[in-house]
Amino acid sequence: MVTIAELMNLTGRRALVTGATGFIGREIVETLAELGSKIILVDRPGADFAGVARGLEERWQAEVSAIPCDLESEEQRKRLFAQVKDEDGGVDILVNNAAFVGDSNLEGWVTSFAGQRVNTWRRAIEVNLTAVFELCQGCAPMLAASPGGSIINIGSTYGVCGPDLSLYEDTEMGNPAAYAASKGGVLQLTRWLATTLAPTVRVNAISPGGVYRKQPDVFVKRYEARTPLGRMATEEDFKGAVAYLASDMSAYVTGQNLLVDGGWTAW
CATH number, domain containing residue 19: 3.40.50.720
Residue 267 covered by a domain? no
| Residue 86: band (very low, low, confident or very high) from pLDDT cuts 50, 70, 90 | confident
**C-alpha span between 186 and 207 (Å, rounded):** 10
Distance between CA 133 and CA 127 in Å, rounded? 10
The residue annotated as part of the active site, out of 158, 168, 179, 223, is 179
Please indicate, yes or no, if residue 18 is contained in any of the structural domains: yes
Question: With bands split at pLDDT 50, 70 and 90, how would you rate the model's confidence at 85?
Answer: confident
* Residues comprising the chain, all counted: 267
Instruction: Give the mean pLDDT of the chain.
Output: 96
Q: What is the reported pLDDT for 179?
A: 96
Q: Would you say residue 263 lies in a domain?
A: no
Contact 131, 137 (CB under 8 A): no
155 within some domain = yes
The answer to whether residue 108 is domain-embedded is: yes
In a domain, 264, yes or no: no
Please give the average per-residue pLDDT across 193-199, as a whole number.
Answer: 98
What gap in Å lies between CA 229 and CA 206, rounded to an integer? 18
Maximum C-alpha span of the chain: 59
Domain-located, residue 145:
yes
Tell me if 243 sits within 8 A of 249, measured CB to CB: yes
- Rounded average pLDDT over 191-199: 98
pLDDT tens-digit map of 33-83: 999 999 999 999 999 999 999 999 999 999 999 999 999 999 999 999 999
Q: Is the pLDDT of residue 104 over 80?
A: no
| pLDDT at residue 88 is higher than 80 | no
The count of domains in the chain is 1
> Of the candidates 12, 132, 112, 136, which has an alpha carbon nearest to the alpha carbon of residue 62?
12
Among residues 103, 184, 179, 95, the alpha carbon closest in space to that of 132 is found at 95
Distance CA 82, CA 77 (A): 9
| 214-246 tens-digit pLDDT | 999 999 999 999 999 999 999 999 999 999 999
CA distance 132 to 188: 12
Pair 183, 158: CB distance under 8 Å: yes
Domain that holds residue 189: 4-258
Confidence of residue 182 (pLDDT cuts 50, 70, 90): very high
Amino acid identity, residue 267?
Answer: W
Q: Is residue 265 part of a domain?
A: no
Half-sphere exposure of 232 (CA within 13 A, CB side): 16
Q: Measured between alpha carbons, how far is 94 from 8 in angstroms, rounded to an integer? A: 16
Burial code (b: 16+ CB inside 10 Å, e: under 16) for 118-150 equals eebbebbbbbbbbbbebbbebbbebbeebebbb
User: Any catalytic annotation for residue 244?
Assistant: no
Residue 106 has pLDDT above 90, yes or no: no
